[in-house]
Amino acid sequence: MLRVENVNHAPVEFSAALLNKFADLVSRYPEGRQKSALLPVLHETQAELGWLSVPAMDKVAAYLKIEPIEVYEVASFYTMYFLRPQGKYMLEVCRTGPCCLVGAEKIMDHIEQKLGVKEGDVTADGLFSWRGVECLAACGFGPVLQIGPEYTFYENLTTELVDKLISDLKAKANN
């Protein structure tokens, strides 16, 4: 059993739409190689549930006919999978060298101040979290930021653009 402390691992249900997506994904690989669908299946699961709880991962394991440990070891290896709940909007800012040459650190400081939470924490209203991530392959258009689960992408960031983005997201969430 994977231990992720201080979170509520309640039982989960997968929607019919999600299960349909799983079936399409599994069909892309040869017979018996359904484990290849694990990464995309986890992305879809996280898009629906917001994060990957232990019961969700166990259900994925059962669906793909693999051991739960095979899911845990993958979910904990890759950075995109959240093993605990995040804000509804996770702002991920590139913190790697080339973006730092054009002001990425200033953008991260600004976001921290604006949201009033440290990297990795969730705002009290549950709407936002933020973190620095590694190079997002857009270094010539830095600083850059992405927001899952669609991974909408924002380039050439300024503090003004960040302010606008955050207030737009707040408005969207309250509608």
Q: Site residues (CB under 8 A) for another protein?
A: 28, 30, 33, 35-40, 42-43, 64, 66, 70, 73-74, 77-81, 95-98, 100-102, 133-142, 146, 148-153
- Kindly state the DSSP code that residue 122 receives in the 8-state scheme: B
From the list another protein, ligand FES, none, pick the one residue 111 interacts with, judged by a Cβ distance below 5 to 8 Å according to partner type.
none
Burial class (CB within 10 angstroms; exposed 0-12, middle 13-18, buried 19+) of 9: middle
Amino acid at 10: A
Query: With CB cut-offs between 5 and 8 Å by kind, which of another protein, ligand FES, none does residue 42 bind?
Result: another protein
For another protein, the closer of residues 24 and 163 by Cβ is 24
The pair of three-digit structure tokens given for residue 167, joined into one six-digit string: 């207030």
Nearer to another protein, 156 or 167 (CB): 156
* Cβ closest to another protein, residue 37 vs residue 111: 37
Residue 90's binding partner, choosing from ligand FES, another protein, none, with beta-carbon cut-off 5 to 8 A by kind? none
Return the number of the residue (40 or 55) whose C-beta is nearest another protein. Answer: 40
In angstroms, the CA 143 to CA 155 distance is 6
